[in-house]
């Protein structure tokens, strides 16, 4: 509720400060809502002149679970030609903003993707923010669909560059298809299929590559793990003889380290792809690193 009130206040302040908010007519400006979408869009706009891609938030923000919208973020969105979102509920706190900025075209990259229910939501966890799990890009197949959705939207809105968007979509899709094949091959014969993860970033990943998430340390990254929850995870790991815990580089590792100390399980790092460099190859590099880690941990 506090965040909703804050967003509404920012909207009011934003229109007072910016007035009509004229767009720069010299370039086609694309604003993306979060880092994974930013990387996809960088690939789709490669070598296209007069097309600018800006991410709404800092590339080190991580998931938008507790993102606090600022006036400069609103200015970025309003000054854009198109706003590309992840969808699947990730940007639900922006609904009021999107309704107010009716002149900005919206591309929802999640269209047509089968969504998984957020287990946190199903358990009515007090800190849960989403009905569906929004980490859809962690399935490479879903990432391909997102790229196609964004490309189709950009071709329609910026038709003058339609051929370039299509060319780049085909190039990046080919790379993603190769990545998926490499990961399927690498994970096909690993023996330990059950994993314990830090938060709910990996269900789509697990579904695609035949893994089973036996437990989650923190359903939301801002949660504090209670003594009861720690005990339950420790008992589960011991009962199922799980040897590996997976944390994420973006979030604290204290709970996982405490669990590892009690169980003897080893802690590894998996990247959920929510932060990184502004490099078109960032997603592929992160997933290839995840493959290396999983093969080492589950061999």
Tens-place pLDDT, residues 5-56:
455 455 444 444 444 444 444 589 999 999 999 999 999 999 999 999 999 9
CA 166 to chain centre: 23
HSE at residue 111, side-chain half, CA atoms within 13 A, is 13
* Mean pLDDT in residue range 259-275: 95
d(CA 169, CA 14): 35
Query: 131, 117 in Cβ contact below 8 A?
Result: yes
Average pLDDT over residues 271-289: 96
Is the distance from CB of 46 to CB of 40 less than 8 angstroms? Answer: no
Per DSSP, the three-state class of 29 is strand
Q: Do the first three CATH levels of 2-180 and 184-298 match, i.e. the same topology?
A: yes
DSSP state of 160: G
Kindly tell me if the per-residue pLDDT of 157 is higher than 70: yes
192-210 pLDDT, tens digit per residue, is 789 999 889 999 999 999 9
Query: How confident is the model at residue 24, as a pLDDT?
Result: 44
Fold of 2-180: Rossmann fold (3.40.50)
Domain topology for 184-298? Rossmann fold (3.40.50)
Q: Which of 86-100, 110-124, 206-220 has the lowest mean pLDDT?
A: 110-124
Cα 25 from chain centre? 31
**Lowest-pLDDT choice from 70-74, 121-125, 239-243:** 121-125
* pLDDT score, position 66: 67
Residue labelled with tokens 């009690």: 262
Domain range annotation of the chain: 2-180, 184-298
Q: Where do we find the tokens 């995840």? A: 290
Q: Are the C-beta atoms of 93 and 41 separated by less than 8 Å?
A: no
Distance from C-alpha of 79 to C-alpha of 297, rounded to nearest angstrom: 46
């Amino acid at each position: 509720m506090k965040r909703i009130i804050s967003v509404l206040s920012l909207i009011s302040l934003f229109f007072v400060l910016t007035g009509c908010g004229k767009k720069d007519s010299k370039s086609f400006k694309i604003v993306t809502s979060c880092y994974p979408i930013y990387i996809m869009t960088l690939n789709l706009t490669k070598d296209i002149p007069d097309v600018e891609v800006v991410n709404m938030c800092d590339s080190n923000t991580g998931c938008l679970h507790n993102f606090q919208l600022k006036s400069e973020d609103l200015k970025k969105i309003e000054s854009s030609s198109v706003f590309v979102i992840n969808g699947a509920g990730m940007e639900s706190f922006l609904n009021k903003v999107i309704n107010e900025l009716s002149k900005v075209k919206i591309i929802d990259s999640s269209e047509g993707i089968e969504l998984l229910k957020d287990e946190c939501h199903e358990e009515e966890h007090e800190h849960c923010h989403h009905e569906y799990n929004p980490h859809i890009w962690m399935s490479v197949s879903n990432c391909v669909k997102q790229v196609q959705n964004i490309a189709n939207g950009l071709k329609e809105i910026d038709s003058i560059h339609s051929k370039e968007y299509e060319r780049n979509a085909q190039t990046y899709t080919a790379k993603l298809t190769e990545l998926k094949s490499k990961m399927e091959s690498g994970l096909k014969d690993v023996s330990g299929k059950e994993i314990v993860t830090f938060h709910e970033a990996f269900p789509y990943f697990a579904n695609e590559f035949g893994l089973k998430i036996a437990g989650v340390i923190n359903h939301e990254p801002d949660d504090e793990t209670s003594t009861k929850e720690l005990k339950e995870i420790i008992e589960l790991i011991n009962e199922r003889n799980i040897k590996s815990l997976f944390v994420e580089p973006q979030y604290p590792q204290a709970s996982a380290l405490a669990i590892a100390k009690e169980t003897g399980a080893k802690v590894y790092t998996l990247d959920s792809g929510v932060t990184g460099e502004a490099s078109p190859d960032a997603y592929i590099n992160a997933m290839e690193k995840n493959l290396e880690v999983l093969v080492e941990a589950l061999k």
